[in-house]
């Protein structure tokens, strides 16, 4: 396979930051948060240096001050690199917010902070095609996974089915039997059972080249190849044609269900030796779920790793999975447990926390008021004569039925518990869901598609007022009223309801006390 020039050998750690910073200038601002060392400094001190380091939330070296990731704005296709607030610090989310104001943005590049140029970009077609032009995978919406790190706002990479990133032409990533380690921080509440939400080592041609051609971290609750205790999700190793939770194909009792909001997931492997470790990325240490010989299935000893890097997809571009990624690295060499324990201490000290966006509490009853000047007396209601959803004027003199129609019970998102779903207050078990871009009130049929169509992620209002609710499976599309009907709409697009006129106002809502 073609390798990139080995200029990295002549670069110092400070030079690494300069390489990754090339491109659009990054607007930095002062910050009280600055790390004295990052995870990759710890790995280097342990003799297993990072050969890839990806994060949209923070720098992974104490001295790193280059670009973390790049966003592209829908309104004019302009791009901006986002860097840390200060060397070794948290991402400058304010720069992204300013750049993406009144538009939507996607993450186009996740830069490699190691200096080796192993950047992650839009995954190309392979054994499976993606939904974007040319069979490429979708890019992640830049605002779908807000968090705070050390008290500062940041954004993760929110992967919905069809979204994926890849680098098939890497520098320094392990091949064959060469030892390596990797960790990633995931949202432990955002997952599904489809193939495959991975981060790690994969095939360089985006095809399934057989057993042992991959070594990546998998996170989800698929039971198609392997699984652990409980109902999942589990940290497992995707080794190609197998998700392994231990030495056996299928069930391994030592691999537990994960319940942490922020999860540290670790896979490492060398000649006839590999391990699974994990822990809570907010507190505590790591546990070892497996440490031993390669799986007792033909084709995995010796390994045939190829050295590409994937995020959110399988080695053959299987792209049906969901998950959220915040940071991760890959190393040269098999890291010691002691090194990984120190990395975990660094992670917990970074201070990951859920976003401060004022999400309506699960179980609360609310009404959703329009903010556009024409319609400030209007609320989202369902139609009693059919399953349509619209805005309608509601006031103290309205009928009891109309007040009930305009009242919603907030539920934890059916497809992502960090987001929300809206159940009708007077039609139990029926939810707002989109189909063909329009909103309907329909009973929950228990399907994965319904769960996704009925889940919306709150963020600060696009107009600066209230909240906006982004579709979990159609990034960049928000609940919007247009000619009094409710749609999921992007800011500019081929549909009439994607009109840029008043889009920010029409897609912003005030959550009020319930009418009923």
Q: Which of 187, 238, 316, 405 is catalytic?
A: 316
Where does residue 301 rank: exposed (0-12), middle (13-18), buried (19+ CB within 10 A)?
middle
Torsion of CA 347, 353, 355, 356, to 10 degrees: -140
- DSSP secondary structure string for all residues of 67-127: --EEEEETTT--EEEE-BSSTT-BB-HHHHHHHTTTS-EEEEEE--TTSS---BEEPPPSS
Neighbours of 265 (CB within 10 A): 25
Q: How far apart are CA 475 and CA 80, in angstroms?
A: 19
Within 146-207, strands assigned E span: 146-149, 152-155, 157-159, 165-167, 180-187, 198-202
Pairing of strands 262-270, 152-155: unpaired
The residue annotated as part of the active site, out of 167, 240, 423, 453, is: 240
Residue partners of 245: CB distance under 8 A and separation at least 6: 226, 227, 228, 234, 236, 251, 252, 255, 276, 289, 290
Closest by Cα among 84, 72, 113, 104 to 26: 84
Q: Would strands 250-251 and 226-227 be described as parallel, antiparallel, or unpaired?
A: parallel
Catalytic residue list contains 316: yes
Element (DSSP H or E) covering residue 338:
helix 337-350
Instruction: Give the count of alpha carbons within 13 A of 493, CB side only.
Output: 16
Q: Is 423 a catalytic residue?
A: no
Tokens 């042992």 sit on residue: 212
Mark 372-393 as b/e (b = at least 16 C-beta within 10 Å).
Answer: beebeebbbbbeeeeeebbbbe
Judge residue 4's burial from the number of C-beta atoms within 10 Å of its C-beta, 0-12 exposed, 13-18 middle, 19 or more buried: middle
Residues labelled catalytic: 240, 316
């Amino acid at each position: 396979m073609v390798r990139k020039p080995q200029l990295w050998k002549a670069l110092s750690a400070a030079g690494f930051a300069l390489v990754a910073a090339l491109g659009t200038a990054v607007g930095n601002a002062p910050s009280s948060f600055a790390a004295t060392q990052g995870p990759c400094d710890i790995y280097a001190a342990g003799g297993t240096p990072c050969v890839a380091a990806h994060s949209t939330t923070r720098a992974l070296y104490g001295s790193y001050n280059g670009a973390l990731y790049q966003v592209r704005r829908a309104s004019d296709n302009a791009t901006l690199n986002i860097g840390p607030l200060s060397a070794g610090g948290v991402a400058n989310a304010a720069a992204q917010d300013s750049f993406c104001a009144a538009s939507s943005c996607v993450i186009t590049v996740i830069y490699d902070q190691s200096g080796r140029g192993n950047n992650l970009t839009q995954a190309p077609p392979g054994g499976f095609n993606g939904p974007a032009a040319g069979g490429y995978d979708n890019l992640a919406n830049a605002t779908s996974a807000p968090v705070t790190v050390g008290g500062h706002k940041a954004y993760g990479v929110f992967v919905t089915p069809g979204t994926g990133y890849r680098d098939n032409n890497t520098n320094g990533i392990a091949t064959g039997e060469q030892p390596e380690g990797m960790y990633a921080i995931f949202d432990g509440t955002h997952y599904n059972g489809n193939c495959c939400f991975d981060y790690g080592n994969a095939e360089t041609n985006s095809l399934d080249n057989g057993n042992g051609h991959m070594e990546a971290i998998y996170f989800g609750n698929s039971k198609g190849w392997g699984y652990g205790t409980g109902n999942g999700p589990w940290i497992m190793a995707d080794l190609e044609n197998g998700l392994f939770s231990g030495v056996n194909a299928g069930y391994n009792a030592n691999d537990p269900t994960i319940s942490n909001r922020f999860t540290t997931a670790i896979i490492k492997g060398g000649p006839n030796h590999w391990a699974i470790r994990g822990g809570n990325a907010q507190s505590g240490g790591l546990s070892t779920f497996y440490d031993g010989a390669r799986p007792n299935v033909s084709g995995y000893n010796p390994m045939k790793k190829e050295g590409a890097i994937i995020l959110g997809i399988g080695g053959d571009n299987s792209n049906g999975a969901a998950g959220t990624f915040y940071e991760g690295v890959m190393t040269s060499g098999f890291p010691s447990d002691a090194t990984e324990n120190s990395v975990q201490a660094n992670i917990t000290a970074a201070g990951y926390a859920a976003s401060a966006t004022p999400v309506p509490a699960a179980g609360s009853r609310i009404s959703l008021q329009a903010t556009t000047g024409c319609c400030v007396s209007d609320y989202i209601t369902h139609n009693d004569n059919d399953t349509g959803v619209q805005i309608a004027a509601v006031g103290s003199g309205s009928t009891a039925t109309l007040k009930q129609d305009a009242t919603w019970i907030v539920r934890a998102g059916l497809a992502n518990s960090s987001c929300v779903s809206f159940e009708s207050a007077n039609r139990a078990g029926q939810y707002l869901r989109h189909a063909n871009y329009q909103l309907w009130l329909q009973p929950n049929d228990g399907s994965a598609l319904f769960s996704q169509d009925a889940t919306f992620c709150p963020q600060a209002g696009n107009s600066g007022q209230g909240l906006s609710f982004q579709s979990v499976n159609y990034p960049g599309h928000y609940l919007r009223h247009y000619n009094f009907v409710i749609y999921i709409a992007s800011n500019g697009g081929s549909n009439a309801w994607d009109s840029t006129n008043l889009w920010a106002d029409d897609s912003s809502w005030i959550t009020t006390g319930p009418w009923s």
